[in-house]
């Protein structure tokens, strides 16, 4: 006689992406979302008054590598149904930044008190998605090994301007041995919706980075003698652009604490 | 009334790949085949006595990046039907090298006098195929710009040995600006049957290359300050391996003068 099958009368386990959102919503989760709900895409958040929405949409359309749009809310809505059931953009991210006139004025765990009827929310792809593809092929990711935030740099690469939005691209950097760098190009090329292939590698000064040890965001990591720095367009670019466009109001996620969506990373693979 | 159509009674133009082969066969073409019959795959040639065939096939199978097999002849045959109609491996390549016991003993324009009933011919993919993909996207190829042979280097990368065949991988090098290097990885990844993606980039000393200005085969090219060297596995590897395996007899093509096949480069694109 066969062993008994699993108990089918038990309630289905909660989806891990929703579990992460509920943990943030309840205040139990306030730190990094790295490694949570593996397999599910995470997203950068940018929230702007509707008066800026058309310009920002055009900016994202014109700059798909730093600003790959995964979803956009209706005006005044605090959810994006295509990215998850039971998703509350006001509280499902562990940390938020509140901006007024381009100045960071507050960091909060719950943005509900700041939400307004005229806001539009933009969810932008995150490098966690392609990092999962690298990890799956045993390509070491230094900032994970060293348990710090990925180093990010403001570059000399101009984004294509759109309306009030313009500025330089922010990139994240991962040091890789050359064969891994080649493989990483192949792997991340499969994910154009989550930054896609690197934008640069090997010669940081060509994109205005003078010192890898001094990132503009995140933390420095070790670059070994047998490695080259590989640079990807980064979803922090919108925060840099918002800081210079100085819209009257904005909400963004706090870097490293992302929106965990119900979408699978594999949904975004083109081949 | 419509203008007259083209004269359909004219004989069809000869296929440009066959035209190149016939020019070599007649002795009219003795130099490089670079740029001939664009769109058609060209091939490296290695011809060995049948006693070595199983080992060499295993060597190619185990080392697909330097030795991507496009076709193998029957024993004693001097054609590979899948690669072209009216194809004579004894004379359709502009130049041949004759080897005895691993020593280069002759360079000839026609190998017919050396052909034997016990030979097996191996046609191996050539970088001209993926270079066409780079050129199509306006990625400059330095050795073409400077009108010299591509620089090639013996590396410290061991091929996987098979029977009597073993040795180090030979690579070709193209200096590229970093964004072009990334695009070149993407483009050449589409062509695994013609060397595929690069094997290395950026740090030549890691693969045993001390001085880019002193290639082991071909000619040196300029590497500019804003470029990194990108290395692809090279179809000259079998010649290096044959030189060290010292088979009793071998015929190869003379580097730069290739077999022009009827197959389209696009036949070898996987996506």
B168 and B213 belong to one structural domain: yes
B5 found inside a domain:
no
pLDDT of residue A11: 58
> Is A109 in the same domain as A31?
yes
Q: Which domain holds residue B179?
A: 128-237
Whether the pLDDT of residue A7 is over 60: the answer is no
In chain A, positions 207-226, which contact chain B (CB-CB < 8 Å)?
Answer: 226
Flag whether B111 is in a domain.
Answer: yes
The answer on A157 and A80 residing in a single domain is no
Residue B11 lies in a domain: no
Helix, strand, coil percentages for chain B (3-state, nearest 5): 30, 25, 45
Q: How many residues can be counted in chain A?
A: 271
Same-domain pairing of A68 and A20: yes
A116 and A23 in one domain? yes
Q: Tokens standing for A109?
A: 């765990």
Together in a domain, B107 and B207: no
Contact across the interface for B206 and A226, Cβ inside 8 Å: yes
- Is B133 contained in some domain? yes
Whether residue A111 is found in the same domain as residue A172:
no
Tell me which residue in B182, B200, B271 faces A198 most closely, judged by beta carbons: B182
Nearest one of A225, A202, A203, A223 to A214, comparing CA atoms:
A223
Give the three-state DSSP class for A186. helix
User: What is the structure's pLDDT at B149?
Assistant: 87
* Partner A contacted by B206 (CB < 8 A): yes
Q: Are residues B97 and B224 in the same domain?
A: no
Query: Is A112 inside a domain boundary?
Result: yes
Is B140 part of any domain?
yes
A170/A129 Cα distance (integer angstroms): 18
Task: Fill in the DSSP letter of residue A117.
Answer: T
Q: Do A200 and B189 touch (CB under 8 A)?
A: no
Which tens digit of pLDDT belongs to each residue from B171-227?
Answer: 999 999 999 999 999 999 999 889 999 999 999 999 999 999 999 999 999 999 999
Provide the CATH number for the domain around residue B152. 3.30.2040.10
Q: Per the CB < 8 Å rule, is A182 touching B185?
A: yes
Q: What does the pLDDT read at residue A270?
A: 84
- Which CATH number does the domain housing residue B56 bear? 3.40.1640.10
Whole-angstrom Cα distance, residue B221 to residue B224? Answer: 10
- Percent of the residues in chain A that have a pLDDT greater than 70, as a whole number: 96
In chain B, residues 136-195 whose CB comes closer than 8 Å to chain A: 177-179, 181-182, 185-186, 189
Q: How many domains is chain A partitioned into structurally? A: 2
Is B3 part of any domain?
Answer: no
Question: Which candidate from A185, A199, A271 shows the least CB-CB separation from B271?
Answer: A271
**CB < 8 Å to B206, chain A:** 177-178, 226
Exposure string for B209-231, b = 16+ CB within 10 A, e = fewer: beebeebebbebbebeeebbbbb
The closest alpha carbon to B36, from B117, B106, B113, B94, belongs to B94
The residues that bridge with B260 in the sheet, in sequence order, are B42
B52 and B92 housed in the same domain: yes
Contact between B59 and B168 under an 8 Å Cβ cutoff? The reply is: no
Q: CB B181 to CB A202 under 8 A?
A: yes
Give the integer Cα–Cα distance in Å for A108 and A177.
Answer: 39
Tokens of B50: 């049948």
Residue to mutate among B180, B182, B201, B204, with most A CBs inside 10 A, is: B182
Q: What is the pLDDT of residues B11-26, one digit of tens each?
A: 568 899 999 999 999 9
**Residue A6 forms part of a structural domain:** no
A107: how many CB neighbours lie within 10 A of its CB? 10
**Alpha carbons within 13 A on the beta-carbon side of B115:** 16
Going edge to edge, which strands form the sheet with A200-201? Answer: A152-158, A168-176, A228-233, A200-201
User: Tens of pLDDT along B34-87?
Assistant: 889 999 999 999 999 999 999 999 999 999 999 999 999 999 999 999 999 999
Secondary structure of chain A: what % helix, strand, coil (to 5)? 30, 25, 45
What is the least distance, in Å, from the CA of B133 to any CA of chain A? 16
Q: CA B104, CA B249: separation in Å to the nearest integer?
A: 10
pLDDT digits (tens, 9 = 90+) for A172-219: 999 999 999 999 999 999 998 899 999 999 999 999 999 999 999 999
DSSP assignment letter at A74: P
Residue A270 CA to residue A130 CA, distance in Å, equals: 12
Q: Are residues B233 and B261 in the same domain?
A: no
Between CA A248 and CA A99 the distance in angstroms is 8
**Mind listing the pLDDT tens digit for each residue in B156-180?**
999 999 999 999 999 999 999 999 9
Residue A186: burial class (beta carbons within 10 Å; 0-12, 13-18, 19+): middle
Which chain B residues are closer than 8 Å to A202 by Cβ? 178, 181, 201-202, 228
Task: Kindly indicate whether the ipTM for this predicted assembly is greater than 0.90, answering yes or no.
Answer: no
Query: Is the confidence at residue B131, as pLDDT, over 80?
Result: yes
Looking at the partner chain, which of B178, B186, B201 has a beta carbon nearest the beta carbon of A189?
Answer: B186
Residues B45 and B66 in one domain: yes
Residue B229 Cα, gap to closest chain A Cα (Å) = 10
Residues B133 and B229 in one domain: yes
Contact residues on chain A for B189, CB-CB shorter than 8 A: 186, 189
Q: Which of B198, B203, B206 sits opposite A182 (nearest CB)?
A: B198
Examine the pLDDT at B4 and tell me if it is beyond 80.
no
In degrees and rounded to multiples of 5, residue B212 shows phi and psi of -65, -25
Chain B residues touching residue A181 (CB < 8 angstroms): 201-202
CA dihedral B204, B205, B206, B212 (to 10 degrees): 20
């Amino acid at each position: 006689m066969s062993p008994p099958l699993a108990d089918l009368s038990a309630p289905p386990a909660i989806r891990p992406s929703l579990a992460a959102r509920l943990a943030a919503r309840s205040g139990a989760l306030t730190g990094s979302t790295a490694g949570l709900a593996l397999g599910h895409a995470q997203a950068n958040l940018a929230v702007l008054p509707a008066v800026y929405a058309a310009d920002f949409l055009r900016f994202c359309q014109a700059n798909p590598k730093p600003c790959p749009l995964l979803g956009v809310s209706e005006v005044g809505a605090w959810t994006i149904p295509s990215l998850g059931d039971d998703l509350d953009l006001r509280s499902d991210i562990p940390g938020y930044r509140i901006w007024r006139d381009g100045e960071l004025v507050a960091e909060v765990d719950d943005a509900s008190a700041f939400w307004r009827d005229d806001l539009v929310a933009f969810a932008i792809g995150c490098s966690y998605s392609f990092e999962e593809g690298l990890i799956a092929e045993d390509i070491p990711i230094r900032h994970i090994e060293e348990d710090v935030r990925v180093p990010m740099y403001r570059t000399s690469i101009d984004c294509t301007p759109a309306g009030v939005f313009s500025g330089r691209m922010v990139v994240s950097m991962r040091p890789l041995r050359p064969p891994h760098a080649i493989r990483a190009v192949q792997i991340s090329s499969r994910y154009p919706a989550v930054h896609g292939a690197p934008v640069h590698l090997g010669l940081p000064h060509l994109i205005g980075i003078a010192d890898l040890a001094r990132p503009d965001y995140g933390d420095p990591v070790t670059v070994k003698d047998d490695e080259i720095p590989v640079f990807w367009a980064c979803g922090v670019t919108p925060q840099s652009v918002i800081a210079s466009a100085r819209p009257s109001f904005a909400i963004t996620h706090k870097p490293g604490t992302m929106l965990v969506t119900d979408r699978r990373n594999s949904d975004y693979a083109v081949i």
